[in-house]
Amino acid sequence: MWGFFAGGRISRLEERCEKLEQDLRTANLDFDELYQKCRKLLGRTVKERASIEAHTETPEGPRVLSQAGVTRGPLTERQRQIQQEILKRRAGG
């Protein structure tokens, strides 16, 4: 009598175990698919950011060392004018 009940419970446990294993495999496949999509989107984002940064950067000319020993880069005309006035004042002129 106990063998009959035990056999039914064991088969139900085996069925549950098989269902859980199948669910786990499905979840792993879903995770792998989601991971690949996220990786692809991240790659696209990095590429787009690099592209945007490349287009927004201003090309800088060579750095020039002035008489005062200060490194200067490309300046606008107004900035150059102000810089020259400052250098004249520093030189005592």
Tens of pLDDT along 24-44? Answer: 999 999 999 999 999 999 999
72 Cβ contact list (under 8 Å, min separation 6): 63, 64, 65, 66, 83
Q: What is the pLDDT of residue 55?
A: 82
End-to-end CA distance of the chain: give it in Å, rounded: 116
Is a pLDDT exceeding 50 seen at residue 1? no
Q: What is the pLDDT of residue 58?
A: 54
Q: What is the pLDDT of residue 53?
A: 85
**What is the helix (H) or strand (E) element at residue 64, kind and residue range?**
strand 64-65
Q: Please tell me the total count of domains within the chain.
A: 2
Q: Note whether 61 and 73 are within 8 A (CB).
A: yes
| Residues 13 and 43 occupy one common structural domain | yes
pLDDT band at 76 (very low <50, low <70, confident <90, very high): confident
Q: What is the pLDDT of residue 3?
A: 56
| Residues 10 and 50 occupy one common structural domain | yes
Residue 47, amino acid: K
- Count of CB atoms within 10 A of residue 87's CB? 14
Q: What is the pLDDT of residue 59?
A: 56
Instruction: Kindly state the average pLDDT of the residues 45-71.
Output: 70
pLDDT band at 8 (very low <50, low <70, confident <90, very high): confident
Distances (CA, A) of 48 to 11, 44, 53, 59, 84: 55, 6, 9, 19, 41
| Residues 1 and 38 occupy one common structural domain | yes
| Residues 47 and 4 occupy one common structural domain | yes
The residue range of the domain holding 91 is 60-93
